[in-house]
Amino acid sequence: MSHMLHLAGIESVVLERAGREHVRTRLRAGVLEQGVVEMLRELGLGERLDQLALKQSALDFRFDGASRRIDFEAEIGRNVWVYPQHEVVTDLMNARQKAGAAIFYEAPVQRIDGLEGERPVLHFEHQGESCRLECDYVAGCDGFRGVSRSAIPADKLKVFDRIYPFGWLGILAEAPAATNEIVWGCHDGGFAMQSIRSPSVTRLYLQCAPDENPDHWSDDRIWSELHKRLDVEGMPPVNEGRVTQKGVTAMRSFLAEPMQWGRLFLAGDAAHIVPPTGAKGLNSALADIKVLARALVAHYREGADAHLARYSDTCLRRMWLVQRFSAGLCTMTHQFPGQNPFVQRLQRTDLDYMTGTRAGRLQFSENFTGLPVEA
């Protein structure tokens, strides 16, 4: 956001609660939509991306003992790229640092005042001092637990929420992926995924209890479950390697409406959470930012405020489609405790339709590689 504003000659200040190294190294998502890759290149941030990112032109679904690939490049000529989120963050931090940007780390915002007036004020702490920042607009990019969303009066905000009765145990393994494709295992024993972080590091996920203790998963147990859920005849089995990281992610869908109040604009996790199945968290945050940056540029350059006024509607329309995709995939691919066998058969039929018909493959391909972002 601040990089995009900077390129348009608009000044901004970034207040970040965490420390620089925490922000730079925190492991998160790994898949970028085609539109996001194009946007990063257009912004002059494509150099390391073009060296390191691994293009993915298909996704391999495994269920009922067989592999059924959706080749989105063949279906619609679009792709996704595996490029870890911390690398995107590193590129952004480097670009901002080079431009001498005003970024305050370890600067938690306590309160935002005056959002209904012309000059909102952020109250924050930095190096043991209480500070205030007066500005024209506030971009609330401070995550699900940030203060921005809570600055909107409760009676102005409508919240939609679904918590899933399972989580993901995510591991990093020192091993090349068995195939150079993202693989989803939709198994009666639960969902599993093989993804990639680099040519020598595999990212793997296993559906588990939402409050699972990762210490209860020995390496032997992890590999045996991954083989059970992912391996099928005719395809190389999951490649084992040293497990270097293990953690549990809870799963939820969440959306707050509207995404704007007064001079505050919510973006990313501050406004919405998706279950990680569709790889849409980072991509959606960047879609919001694209809309917001363009709207602010139109305001400062042309005095045109129509884009700002439409920000929430523009983002919400796309975000509900992303929610639909993410929740739909999550529901289609995971085992729900105590699930009715009829519903279980419907899940299989949804997978069969999605992978086995042109209409199903097109719908998946368009959503997975990224819906358009409205100007």
Interface segment toward ligand PHB; rule CB under 6 A; list 24-32, 96-104, 132-140, 141-149: 24-32
Going from the C-alpha of 84 to that of each of 12, 28, 284, the distances in angstroms are 26, 7, 15
| Closer residue to ligand PHB in complex, CB, 30/241 | 30
- Site size with ligand PHB, rule: CB under 6 A: 10
The Cα 40–Cα 47 span in angstroms is 9
Asked if 29 is part of the footprint of ligand PHB (rule: CB under 6 A), the reply reads yes
Interface segment toward ligand PHB; rule CB under 6 A; list 23-31, 136-144, 219-227, 353-361: 23-31
Asked if 195 is part of the footprint of ligand PHB (rule: CB under 6 A), the reply reads yes
Per DSSP bridges, beta strands 242-257 and 109-113 are unpaired
Asked if 30 is part of the footprint of ligand PHB (rule: CB under 6 A), the reply reads yes
| Closer residue to ligand PHB in complex, CB, 29/267 | 29
Asked if 12 is part of the footprint of ligand PHB (rule: CB under 6 A), the reply reads no
CB of 208 to ligand PHB, least distance (A): 15
Sequence-distant (6+) residues with CB within 8 A of 287 are 35, 36, 315, 318, 370, 373
| Closer residue to ligand PHB in complex, CB, 197/307 | 197
Interface segment toward ligand PHB; rule CB under 6 A; list 111-119, 171-179, 277-285, 359-367: 277-285
Asked if 251 is part of the footprint of ligand PHB (rule: CB under 6 A), the reply reads no
Residue 197 contacts residue 84 (beta carbons within 8 Å): yes
Asked if 268 is part of the footprint of ligand PHB (rule: CB under 6 A), the reply reads no
Cα-flanking dihedrals φ and ψ of residue 39, to 5°?
Answer: -65, -45
Asked if 167 is part of the footprint of ligand PHB (rule: CB under 6 A), the reply reads no
Per DSSP bridges, beta strands 102-104 and 13-15 are parallel
Asked if 31 is part of the footprint of ligand PHB (rule: CB under 6 A), the reply reads yes
- Could you give the angle at the alpha carbon of 84 between the alpha carbons of 79 and 87, nearest 5°? 120
Comparing C-alpha atoms, which of 181, 179, 266, 171 is closest to residue 221?
171
Interface segment toward ligand PHB; rule CB under 6 A; list 12-20, 33-41, 152-160, 275-283: 275-283
CB of 269 to ligand PHB, least distance (A): 16
Asked if 182 is part of the footprint of ligand PHB (rule: CB under 6 A), the reply reads yes
Asked if 334 is part of the footprint of ligand PHB (rule: CB under 6 A), the reply reads no
Asked if 275 is part of the footprint of ligand PHB (rule: CB under 6 A), the reply reads no
CB of 282 to ligand PHB, least distance (A): 10
Asked if 151 is part of the footprint of ligand PHB (rule: CB under 6 A), the reply reads no
Asked if 281 is part of the footprint of ligand PHB (rule: CB under 6 A), the reply reads no
Beta strands in the chain (DSSP E): 13-15, 31-33, 54-56, 58-63, 66-71, 80-82, 102-104, 109-113, 121-126, 129-134, 138-140, 158-174, 182-187, 190-198, 201-208, 242-257, 260-261, 264-266, 272-273
Asked if 185 is part of the footprint of ligand PHB (rule: CB under 6 A), the reply reads no
Strand arrangement of the beta sheet that strand 272-273 belongs to: 66-71, 58-63, 182-187, 190-198, 201-208, 158-174, 242-257, 272-273
Asked if 287 is part of the footprint of ligand PHB (rule: CB under 6 A), the reply reads no
Residue 40 contacts residue 49 (beta carbons within 8 Å): yes
List of residues contacting ligand PHB (CB under 6 A): 29-31, 182, 195, 203, 276-279
